[in-house]
Structure 1
Amino acid sequence: MQSSSSSSPASARQLGDTLAAVLGAKVKNVQIALGEVTVTVAAADYLAAATLLRDAAGCQFEQLIDLCGVDYSEYKDGRYDGLRYCVVSHLLSVSLNQRVRLKVFCLDDDFPVIDSVNGIWNSANWFEREAFDLYGIVFEGHNDLRRILTDYGFIGHPFRKDFPTTGHVEMRYDPEQKRVIYQPVTIEPREITPRVIREDNYGGLQ
């Protein structure tokens, strides 16, 4: 049996045609690159498309093996409808030995919200919590959406491209209160100037 991780161009095209036929108007784009199929759907069609991908003949993607957020930031352009935040899922069909990448963009850059697929694939639970924690993407319908990697007192979402590398707060032990406290970060931003080598024969043969 051929490995699903290395589909031939012909099988990838066949899968792309199948997905386009099954999803119909819900498909915004089907892309095939390096033997992998990526399907982009609109936010309004996300749950319906996900259900079809799980149940429809020729799809049967029973397993969600990964889900993550993406921040396109200033790189957003016409290819992404000018939208910043995207949710990317990787689906596996054990029955048909095939994979697909599913993408959907959040409509609001200031408050990114998308439907939760945890009711379709329960493996999405912690993945969606991670995307919420790191990118601030809210998954509507998730019944336990809370941080999973950062601390409860953490401010912001550290995988957003505009998140400062120093963060917003720092922790220290306060001997008077005899406990760990949060305080505004005290690290001062520095501009690092690269060292300039002025030796004439630097890098040359001796």
Structure 2
Amino acid sequence: MTDTVTTAHAVEPEALKSTLATLLGAQARSIEVVREEVTLTVAAADYFAVMQTLRDAPASRFEQLIDLCGMDYQTYGDGRWEGQRFAAVVHLLSVSHNHRLRVRVFCDEDDFPVLASVTPLWAGANWFEREAFDLYGIVFEGHDDLRRILTDYGFIGHPFRKDFPLSGHVEMRYDAERQRVIYEPVTIEPREITPRIIREDNYGGLH
């Protein structure tokens, strides 16, 4: 006697797009298929409700959250971007239907970016949301333990923001006299590093 394993066939992107359009209606700001991948964009106000629908509805059944990351669009498109600055991008997987989805949601405010936490839906979002908070300053309302996860407690700012200085704001060192770690204003002078461009004719013997 042999065991039989049934594997769901992958859903075509256009079919998934149609399913999502029917399922979400006006809650879907846009649904795009690029390079055979589906990206759904939703408003911050609808974010949690949409994610719950995507997890629970029989037509979608996205049981797993694979990844969540922050985004800063400040300099996107060489400055031609006119939308909101901060967003979260989430990758979901449906084991039941064998399909994947990218969900993008923009924060309403640039000065204080806030989104609902999806940790009540997927516990695995915990550290991902902490990382997005640490690196981009996105606050996830409803998160039980939203604190830095990669930088230390004395860190100032959010290092993945496009306007964050490469040298940072403070530096850390051990002070032997005080016998403890201290923070001081950074002493590295900011400078632009421009790569050397070789323009000699026939460089390297190439014609």
TM-score for the superposition, normalised by structure 2: 0.89
Q: Secondary structure at the match of 1:203?
A: helix
For residues 122 and 198 of structure 1, what CA distance do their matches in structure 2 show? Answer: 55
How much does 1:74 deviate? 2.7
1:43 to 1:205, Cα distance in 2 relative to 1, 3 A: closer
Structure with greater proportional helix content: 1
Match of 2:65 in 1: 64
Tell me the equivalent position of 1:130: 131
User: 1:69·1:85 contact (CA, 8 Å) conserved in 2?
Assistant: yes
**1:193–1:32 CA distance, 2 compared to 1 (3 A):** closer
- The 5-angstrom pairing of residues 158-169 of structure 1 reads 158-169=159-170
Q: Which residue of 1 aligns with 2:26?
A: 25
Of all paired residues, the percent bearing the same amino acid is: 67
Q: State the alpha-carbon separation in 2 of the partners of residues 197 and 80 from structure 1.
A: 33
Distance 1:76 1:114 in 2: 24
Alignment check: 8 A CA contact 1:133 1:149 kept: yes
Q: How does 1:194-205 map to 2 (within 5 A)?
A: 194-195=195-196, 202-204=203-205
- Kept after mapping to 1: 8 A contact 2:8/2:96: no
Q: Gaps (5+ residues) in structure 1?
A: none
Counterpart of 1:40 in structure 2 is 41
- The change in CA–CA distance for 1:33 and 1:168 in structure 2 (over 3 A counts) is same
Number of aligned residue pairs: give it.
200
Distance 2:197 2:36 in 1: 45
Q: One-letter code of the match for 2:110?
A: D
Deviations 1:3-22 (A, max 9, x none): 75xx6xxx110000001100
- SS of aligned partner of 1:139: strand
Deviations 1:165-188 (A, max 9, x none): 000000112121011110000001
The equivalent residue for 1:183 is 184
For 2:103, the equivalent position in structure 1 comes to: 102
Give the corresponding residue for 1:12: 13
**Structure 2 counterpart of 1:140:** 141
Gaps of 5+ in 2: 1-6
* Residue number in structure 2 paired with 1:156: 157
Between the aligned partners of 2:173 and 2:124, the Cα distance in structure 1 is 36
Q: Normalization by structure 1: what TM-score?
A: 0.89
Q: Cα 1:184–1:3, aligned 2, differ >3 Å: closer, same or farther?
A: farther
Structure 2 vs 1, CA of residues 121 and 194 (structure 1 numbering), >3 Å: closer, same or farther? closer
Report the CA distance between 1:2 and its aligned residue. Answer: 7.2
By how many angstroms is 1:82 displaced? 1.4
Pair 42,57 (structure 1): closer, same or farther in 2 beyond 3 Å: same
Q: CA offsets per residue over residues 118-157 of structure 1, 9 Å max, x none?
A: 1011111110000000000000111100001110111110
DSSP 3-state at the match of 2:102: strand
Distance of 1:36 and 1:155 partners within structure 2: 37
Amino acid at match of 1:109: D
Query: Distance in 2 between the 1:119 and 1:66 partners?
Result: 15
Aligned-residue Cα RMSD (Å) equals: 2.3
User: Taking structure 1 as reference, are residues 130 and 192 closer, same or farther at Cα in structure 2, changes over 3 Å only?
Assistant: closer
Q: Contact (CA 8 Å) 1:76, 1:82: kept in 2 or not?
A: no
Alpha-carbon distance between aligned partners in 2 of 1:184 and 1:166, rounded to the nearest angstrom: 10
Q: Distance in 2 between matches of 1:96 and 1:117?
A: 21
